[in-house]
A and B are shown apart, each in its own frame.
Chain A
Amino acid sequence: MIRPGLALLLLAWITTQSAFASTDTTSGAIALANLDHLIAQHAATDDDAADELWLMRARYLADYAALERGAAFADAIAPDVPRLLRRARARAAVHRFGEALADLDAAARLGADSTTVFRLRAPIRIAQGAADEVIAPLEAALAREPGFASASALAIAYAGAGRFADADREFQAALDALDTTSPFPYAWLSFARGTMWAEQAGDVERGARHLRRALDYLPQFVAANLHLAEIEARRGAAAAATARLEPVAAREDPEVLALLGRLHAATDAARGAREIEWARARFEALLARQPLAFADHAAEFYLGAGADPERAWRLASANFVERKTPRARELLERAARARER
């Protein structure tokens, strides 16, 4: 694990504190109700706007029916630039990165705006483990157009490259550049920053602070609740983790169900087993529809509570084909070792 030096840690700690300055945003419940309102408003339309609204719902509420709707264009015919770009977004949303990049290449050949193409390509390449490739152009973009979008894109790239202090600085710059009453971007940036520190950089306490901050903005944010519950569970705070997960379990996120199952197993083995089986069924149902979108998390499940190393190895292999990140490589290696045992 790469850990930044003490000076960088101190600098990052200072910026972390300023990130916790008060920001007055619309309550999460109202913001989500208005998101659903916009989705209903666009029910009759079949366009990029509707896709993005559905994907937002999926992103924050682990609503996989919404993910299906938002990514439905992934298999559409795309004979022109607007539709190629739309299909690339849809394919990226379900981790079909190679196909998404092919769409972007095709769009570029047909004369798509190069900035637009790059803005779509960069997050895909980062997700594939090629963050180094996009850092220089993202730095140039930030110099040209300072602001939330440029700073947060660069922060993610730095995080992907393991440059945690640089990433933290840009996360802070992105937060500082935000001027909206929407809780969503604040919640998302705090979540991304929290998972970086807790899961990539190994500073769990620091990561937990940012995850809590994300939940201050959006208490319903399923992934933030899950990651924080994982930290709490590892610390032995099972009651806190359980209390955090139970309100969001009805959304049937398989990772939430799996963690709840593990937590309940200690006191109620039958209930724990039922929840783990429920998680297995949910993973399989989701994998049947979007295999790449869930391959890495399902592999984790089968390496743990799901207890099926062979299945884990197949999923980790499929995931590694699509993305060569350190995490994907480490997951594949663990799956291979488990399979051999």
Chain B
Amino acid sequence: MPRSSTSLLVLFGLAALAPLAAASDHLDTPSVIADPAADIGDLYAWTSTDGRRLNLVMTIVGGKFSDRLRYTFHVDSGRQVGATHSSTAIACEFDAANNADCRAGDDRVTGDASATAGLESRQKHLRVFAGLRDDPFFNNVRGTRAAYDVAGVALKTVARDAAGCPRFDAQTSARILDEWRHTDGHAGTNLLAGWKTAALVVSIDLAQVNRGGPLLGVWATTARRDNAIIDRLGRALTGNALLGTFDSAEASNRRKEEYNRAPPAGWAAFAADIAINLAIYDGFDGECGNQWLAVQNDNSSERYDRLAKLLADDRLWVNSAARTCTQYLAVEFDHVGAVNGDCGGRTPGYDAVDVFRALLVNGTTRGVDDGVDRDDGVPSDSRFPFLAAP
């Protein structure tokens, strides 16, 4: 065995995986790249069509759950986005054979939850599936990386306005958006096509989670059993796309590690980091000030504060009074005046990436796409366990 040099090269570990970190929350920090069982890929949350259940999905980059971690859905409830008064934790642990032990309040379910029907809890408040499924996330990761590369080079010389928005010329802007919707010059492809995930799926009675009000702020964590958080996620792409996006890998990783481990009281401190990157995305279409919630005529560094603060409170908002779920960020839209009756949240079928990008670049929900509109697997938003078979 060539023990010495191959062992030495482990010092650089899985660094080559890092460029793939343009996925939702997959591979976001060195800590989670090192242990894929700790790495949350995505979080989905939406209401059932009968209006009685909240459906939750946490996907993990690994194929098996760790026997040393706790996987938790946090559901905060209130009557207004950002203001919640009650919290419910649905926490699952696994043994070495990946048998689940999940608790929500005084209800509990244990055993092998990998059959399609999952397991129902003792008090029948929740149903749990835990096992391998198709990863429903889709994203043109390589095109995104190429777009970032173009922007990164241009950022070294381009002038910025007082709010930090780069004044990309028309040619650069066109190149960024073109790279974003293509893969190596061809039609955009989904890097995650065929990827499988250890999926933790929970369907829980709404009455168990909406005691503080109908608006649910959902976030997920992986944590050591002493509660030290390793990874956390609310909305798609907050960590991977908005923290140190154009900084050195070391600086970006350091901040993302801090972000993942921060308790809720510390989340607001990341708004300043997010605002810096929002300013850069705002310039991608060659026009500064047209980002969603940007104050167009504000030429100060506060132009992006409103959206930055909203995103720093990284919870996926679900209106549990609604039975129809079709629009990513619908609850946030409602909160800022675009009244709608959608549950918002995120189903596995949403094209969250395109909505997110368009909002950041042109302030609408479309017009900046990555050339990928759906996953190769076909998820369901109504048939448990929702994700396609692997």
Contacts and interface: CB of A to CB of B under 8 A. Distances in A.
A124 B37 contact: no
Interface stretch (B65-73, B116-124, B330-338, B364-372): B65-73
Contacts of A56: 10, 14
Interface residues of A, number: 63
Given A152-B11, A153-B11, A181-B69, A127 B34 contact: no
A25 B68 contact: yes
Contacts of B35: 25-26, 31, 34, 180-182
B341 interface: no
A222 B5 CA distance: 16
Contacts of B13: 52, 149, 185
A80 to B, nearest CB: 14
Given A53-B14, A223-B1, A30 B64 contact: yes
B14 A123 contact: no
B10 A59 contact: yes
State which size class the interface on B falls in: 35 or more
Interface in B239-272: 250
A290 B15 CA distance: 25
A37 B30 CA distance: 18
A59 B114 CA distance: 31
A332 interface: no
A93 B322 CA distance: 57
A199 B318 CA distance: 60
B157 to A, nearest CB: 18
Nearest to B29: A180
Interface string B278-310: 000000000000000000000000000000000
A31 B63 CA distance: 10
Interface in B55-94: 61-69
Interface in A120-161: 120, 123-124, 126-127, 145, 149, 152-153, 156
B196 interface: yes
Contacts of B67: 26-27, 30
B196 A37 contact: yes
B3 A126 contact: no
Nearest to A44: B194
Contact of A92 (B5, B31, B34, B230): B5
Contacts of A184: 10, 34
Interface string A92-127: 111101000000000000000000000110011011
Given A49-B17, A181-B35, A33 B64 contact: yes
A311 to B, nearest CB: 18
Nearest to A295: B2
B16 A52 contact: yes
Interface string A26-49: 110111011011101100100111
Given A34-B63, A34-B64, A181-B66, A47 B16 contact: yes
A25 B96 CA distance: 12
B20 to A, nearest CB: 7
Nearest to B194: A44
Nearest to B225: A24
Interface in B4-51: 4-17, 19-20, 30-31, 34-38
A239 B68 CA distance: 33
B195 interface: yes
Contact of A223 (B3, B34, B63): B3
Contacts of A24: 68, 224-226
Contacts of A44: 194
A181 B230 CA distance: 9
A31 B8 CA distance: 20
A48 B16 contact: yes
A223 B15 CA distance: 23
A112 to B, nearest CB: 14
Contacts of A55: 6, 9
Interface in A223-267: 223, 226, 253, 255
A293 interface: yes
Contacts of B10: 56, 59, 184-185, 188
A191 interface: yes
A316 interface: no
A40 B65 CA distance: 17
A336 interface: no
B37 A34 contact: yes
A253 B1 contact: yes
A313 interface: no
Contact of B12 (A59, A119, A145): A119
Given A59-B7, A62-B1, A297-B1, 13 more contacts: A24-B224, A24-B226, A26-B69, A33-B62, A37-B63, A37-B196, A41-B195, A49-B20, A52-B16, A93-B5, A127-B5, A152-B11, A191-B7
Interface of A: 24-27, 29-31, 33-34, 36-38, 40-41, 44, 47-49, 51-53, 55-56, 58-59, 62, 67, 89, 92-95, 97, 119-120, 123-124, 126-127, 145, 149, 152-153, 156, 179-182, 184-185, 188, 191-192, 195, 222-223, 226, 253, 255, 290, 293-294, 297
10 nearest A-B residue pairs (beta carbon): A37-B63, A48-B16, A123-B8, A34-B62, A182-B35, A182-B34, A26-B66, A293-B2, A127-B5, A49-B16
